[in-house]
Structure 1
């Protein structure tokens, strides 16, 4: 029997989004050792309580962050450690079912908590801390260096997202919900549990955001919230809406996955070793409100990625235009842009531009390529067809040294008639240049400026 020596892969199924507590629960259920959380409990007056529940028939794990010490006892709620808390001795984290999904308790990072009243949940507790204060708390936890680095990087993502949303600097921003004790416990706990699993690669399928609106400290906002949008903009994975009108992807969950996970369109091939289900608070029947985590060995092959390849030949592009194509086409959705020297018809030097993009982005990228270069056709190498421009020809007259010269100008427009390029015919311009003291480039410029439609100024 051949032993699979491929990479150890941790894969998340993002169809029901993710929050900090769901990530903790999924990781524990997939085999991460809860003892990795001890450093957080020793620093903050909190405790991770691990239990089990059932979501639409799926046996799942829950992880609640509850207050301990004076802050937890002051409310008059008693802690029943023996029934609900995990036991570090012997690594016993057997789960005890209690009812989740009531709306009377809401996690600060979005997913509702359970209706169990024998302890005080930590959500939202603690001051609104600055980014610097959160860094100091994490540094005091005596974490392994790699765990601390990852936790701080996640909080930096959260801080930069909030700073961008509120128009402040990273050092000036004060975290709101994500600066509370439970959010710190979620971020640092997730980093510790990920390192305990020791994956070589972490991936996630597209993350569902949910829909509707959600109440925040600044007011009522549509889902996904502004912070999630900012975090996702810098992440490798993609978002998708629905499938319900609830907040499914929270800033904490988004930031953790933005730091750790690369995006994939579908779960990779795995020789499965473990799986885990982390439950969210809402009951969303018929959708199981769980985050699934899979752990296994990959087959070592390259990841399948559906792409489209677009091509066009250019014989008149300037270095400035070619130099800007990488940035411009990337903004339109290109994954890679290659520009190769080529010999064109009539032995002219030119360039072959090859662009790789996702199939769903091909039309937008093709349009951007046409607008930037003025090309009249973009080939779809994968689908054996191309998008071409509508072409019209106009004749302009140039008055030069008392003589009148005619130059043909091509007008390129899209299917709706919107013009995106005006270009003089090279052969006409060359003939005029031979009879005058002007350069070919100057003749081209004057002819295009003299176009009766005067469209150049519209670009």
Structure 2
């Protein structure tokens, strides 16, 4: 399976994603639809980050001269300026993720994908591009604009999905609904160019799977129109809740992950603990706007084919013996421990001392989640001791859900089917969801096993 892997150890922004995709082999000409539809152009250059040559992307107002350094220095520029002077005249709902639309005429509170702030041990350099260019729009207006750009169907769908993630995050932070959410930086032309441009470049690369290692948020504080907040900003936290990948702090005191970057990754990328086995065909670095003494502010992208092996997943195993647990308590452990971070929960019958019947509870968790899961296990069961078998690993398959549509007596029914595959994308197991199959069986008076058989066949034969 042709795979794109992002290395998220220094965060991500819209610009960094654009740069890394171009550096990894995407065609610059794929961005033409955005330049034709909006009054912007992409300025692509290079920047050196702690000895690493990275691709730097700036979105400029059409006709604006590129007054940057000859080598295409970081457009993240002096974030302190455009980062603090927001002054939204309508108390817009975008307060937390203003880091969306780049420099924004000096009136926004982040610098979108220019997740560069005035805190921490880094600094920015370069000129301020024409960011925040164009009108600020409502969520509905952004969707309408994307639909008017005559994009390929898959690109349009991806772009709208990213903006929906951004809109839902903003609505959740501010307690509003999606349709009444107004984008400011994210609704500006340059921010739309980031999102749509990233979707176009991903499509051009022709990858079948996108993954990312844990994404660094940074640390310290960030200042927005509504006040000063700890990093990550509230909108980034909301987006991370919707994402499959892990969010982590550090490694520096600065804002490394912007809402736009987070939203793009939340839609396109599955989370992995470490880079998967790849036969690397191409790779590259996208430049961010920070300068740190020991940490290159770059996003690395690698493109290649999987090896056909399963993925290695670092785990630890927790277990405890219970001799007085009720069936109801045991049945609730699956849900409660999973909420605490458990990857798998197994309850086995056991014979305790004096031949009393009991149970052995075994829990698989990531090492970093072990303490939290152990505490939940103790609180839920009242156990006095929990054993840990130490950090090991397991080999796991890639898992995704496909929808089987069954036509029965002229009616269409849908059943979700979990498909397990190796790193090359070769499926080796199909598991229809029992609850979906049972619901269809009740409506059609067919046996559940017959519905499951038909759903598996439908997906297997596609």
Q: Structure 1 length normalisation: TM-score?
A: 0.71
Per-residue deviation, 1:237: 1.9
Matches within 5 A, 1:209-288: 209-288=217-296
The answer to whether residue 113 in structure 2 is matched with residue 139 in structure 1 is no
2:19 and 2:56 in contact (8 A); partners too: yes
CA distance change for structure 1 residues 116 and 382 in 2, over 3 Å: closer, same or farther? closer
The aligned counterpart of 1:61 is 55
Per-residue deviation, 1:317: 2.5
Pairing partner for 1:115 from 126, 129, 137:
126
Secondary structure of 1:148's counterpart equals helix
The answer to whether residue 343 in structure 2 is matched with residue 325 in structure 1 is no
The aligned counterpart of 2:11 is 17
Matches within 5 A, 1:82-121: 97-100=71-74, 102-103=77-78, 106=82, 107=102, 108-109=111-112, 110-111=114-115, 115-116=126-127, 121=130
1: CA distance between counterparts of 2:333 and 2:141? 43
Matches within 5 A, 1:438-457: none
CA distance change for structure 1 residues 312 and 213 in 2, over 3 Å: closer, same or farther? closer
2:346 and 2:363 in contact (8 A); partners too: yes
CA distance change for structure 1 residues 278 and 335 in 2, over 3 Å: closer, same or farther? same
Pairing partner for 2:46 from 24, 27, 52:
52
Secondary structure of 1:306's counterpart equals strand
Deviations, residues 198-247 of structure 1 (Å, cap 9, x unaligned): 22222222222222222324333322111111111222222232333322
1:312 and 1:377 in contact (8 A); partners too: yes
Per-residue deviation, 1:383: 7.2
Deviations, residues 319-346 of structure 1 (Å, cap 9, x unaligned): 3322321221122221122334556666
Secondary structure of 1:276's counterpart equals strand
2: CA distance between counterparts of 1:51 and 1:354? 53
Per-residue deviation, 1:13: 1.4
Question: Gaps (5+ residues) in structure 2?
Answer: 83-101, 103-110, 117-123, 393-462
The aligned counterpart of 1:307 is 315
Matches within 5 A, 1:135-174: 135-174=143-182
Per-residue deviation, 1:43: 1.7
Q: Structure 2 length normalisation: TM-score?
A: 0.70
The aligned counterpart of 1:413 is none
Per-residue deviation, 1:20: 0.2
The aligned counterpart of 1:31 is 25
Pairing partner for 1:297 from 287, 297, 305:
305
Deviations, residues 397-417 of structure 1 (Å, cap 9, x unaligned): xxxxxxxxxxxxxxxxxxxxx
2:19 and 2:285 in contact (8 A); partners too: yes
1: CA distance between counterparts of 2:390 and 2:53? 44
2: CA distance between counterparts of 1:341 and 1:260? 42
The aligned counterpart of 1:378 is 386
The answer to whether residue 346 in structure 2 is matched with residue 338 in structure 1 is yes
2: CA distance between counterparts of 1:44 and 1:29? 24
1: CA distance between counterparts of 2:223 and 2:387? 48
1: CA distance between counterparts of 2:178 and 2:232? 22
CA distance change for structure 1 residues 116 and 367 in 2, over 3 Å: closer, same or farther? closer
Deviations, residues 397-447 of structure 1 (Å, cap 9, x unaligned): xxxxxxxxxxxxxxxxxxxxxxxxxxxxxxxxxxxxxxxxxxxxxxxxxxx
